[in-house]
């Protein structure tokens, strides 16, 4: 039977460690601080950001939730970010995405001070990550490395195949795996003979944003599968394609009218040696690593 890599348990472990670090910093008169910027009123974003704010409170981290209206301009947002960059009690700045279409997202992410860029999206931090220098790494990729390490999955010398080339997950996780001495191949939607390459993977990271994209014939038996995808299924036809006959999924779908599937077809997990489930795999690590990055930023800014 494949080993299920429990992201909820690992995230809880990381949060406990962060809480201990916060206590040690408090003894030195330091309280890490996170500013969360939520533009407009997108229900999913509101739930996600408030979860982050609550986690800060649980761990002893100061947080400031800033909620500009949806009509906010790029210039107003740039002024807001400049103010946060200057605030001494703020160690991390989180701008919840997506932003309204009229706001220049790239300009805002570039404007966040690299020292406070706890999402790791600033190009300076991306460059530091590539160069293997001290930096703040994007939360989801950093969480993937934690899952592998804390689950005693060997990385050094293994062939890791990353399916997806986004700046948020695909590229940075490839760099982090490379820094752990894996041999890394990056694939994407235009890769020829994709299944031939994915079958070579000891560690297969699926981050392409397509439901059930990785099928059983794309997986070599015994591989470790890291599924980053979160895709919502809302029709019976979609549900039956992946979960027909799965009792707990049937009950959840009947109650909510939807369920989620990753970028890996559930049947592909049966071939693996270990895998991250959806839900309960990589998702919980994102908030845990945001908290970790906030404390890391607080220490780096003070030369600790």
Q: Count of domains in the chain? A: 2
Q: Is 119 known to be catalytic?
A: yes
Q: Is residue 129 part of a domain?
A: no
Q: Is residue 19 part of a domain?
A: no
Q: Is residue 3 part of a domain?
A: no
Q: Which domain does 100 fall in, by range?
A: 29-114
Task: Exactly one of 6, 15, 52, 117 is catalytic; name it.
Answer: 52
Q: Is residue 125 part of a domain?
A: no
Residues 178 and 100 grouped into a single domain: no
CATH number of 81's domain = 3.40.50.10860
Q: Is residue 200 part of a domain?
A: yes
What tokens were used for 65?
Answer: 């939730």
The Cα–Cα gap between 228 and 249 comes to 19
Residues 33 and 150 grouped into a single domain: no
Task: Exactly one of 6, 15, 91, 96 is catalytic; name it.
Answer: 96
Q: What is the pLDDT of residues 7-66, one digit of tens each?
A: 999 999 999 999 999 999 999 999 999 999 999 887 778 888 999 999 999 999 999 999
CATH number of 164's domain = 3.40.50.720
Residues 165 and 249 grouped into a single domain: yes
Q: Is 23 known to be catalytic?
A: no
Task: Exactly one of 119, 202, 227, 263 is catalytic; name it.
Answer: 119
The pTM of this model reads 0.95
Q: Is residue 103 part of a domain?
A: yes
Closest Cα to residue 277, out of 289, 287, 291, 263?
Answer: 263
Contacts for 2 with CB less than 8 Å, ≥ 6 apart: 269, 270, 271, 272, 273, 274, 275
What's the CA angle centered on 271, arms 266 and 276, to 5 degrees?
55
3-state secondary structure of 239: helix
Q: Is 96 known to be catalytic?
A: yes
Q: What is the pLDDT of residues 114-143, one digit of tens each?
A: 999 999 999 999 999 999 888 899 999 999
Local structure of residue 179 (DSSP, 8 states) = H
Residues 156 and 279 grouped into a single domain: yes
């Amino acid at each position: 039977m494949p080993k299920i890599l429990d992201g909820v348990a690992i995230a809880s472990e990381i949060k406990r460690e962060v809480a201990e670090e916060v206590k040690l910093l408090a003894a030195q008169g330091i309280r890490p601080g996170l500013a969360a910027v939520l533009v407009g009123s997108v229900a999913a974003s509101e739930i996600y950001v408030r979860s982050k704010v609550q986690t800060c409170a649980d761990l002893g981290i100061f947080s400031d939730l800033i909620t500009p209206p949806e009509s906010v301009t790029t210039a107003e947002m740039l002024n807001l970010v400049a103010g946060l960059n200057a605030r001494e009690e703020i160690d991390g700045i989180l701008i919840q995405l997506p932003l309204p279409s009229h706001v220049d997202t790239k300009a805002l992410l570039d404007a966040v001070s690299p020292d406070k860029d706890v999402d790791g999206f600033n190009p300076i931090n991306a460059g530091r990550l590539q160069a293997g220098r001290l930096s703040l790494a994007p939360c989801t990729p950093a969480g993937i490395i934690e899952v592998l390490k804390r689950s005693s999955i060997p990385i050094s010398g293994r062939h890791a195949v990353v399916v997806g080339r986004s700046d948020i997950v695909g590229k940075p996780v490839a760099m982090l795996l490379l820094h752990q001495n894996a041999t890394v191949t990056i694939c994407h939607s235009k890769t020829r003979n994709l299944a031939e390459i994915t079958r070579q993977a000891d560690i297969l990271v699926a981050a392409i944003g397509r439901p059930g994209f990785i099928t059983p014939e794309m997986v070599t038996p015994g591989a470790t599968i890291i599924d980053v995808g979160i895709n919502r299924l809302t029709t019976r036809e979609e549900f039956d394609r992946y979960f027909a006959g799965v009792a707990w999924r049937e009950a959840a779908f009947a109650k909510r009218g939807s369920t989620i599937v990753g970028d890996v077809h559930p049947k592909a997990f049966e071939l693996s040696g270990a895998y991250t489930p959806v839900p309960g795999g990589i998702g919980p690590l994102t908030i845990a690593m945001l908290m970790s990055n906030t404390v890391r930023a607080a220490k780096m800014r003070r030369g600790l």
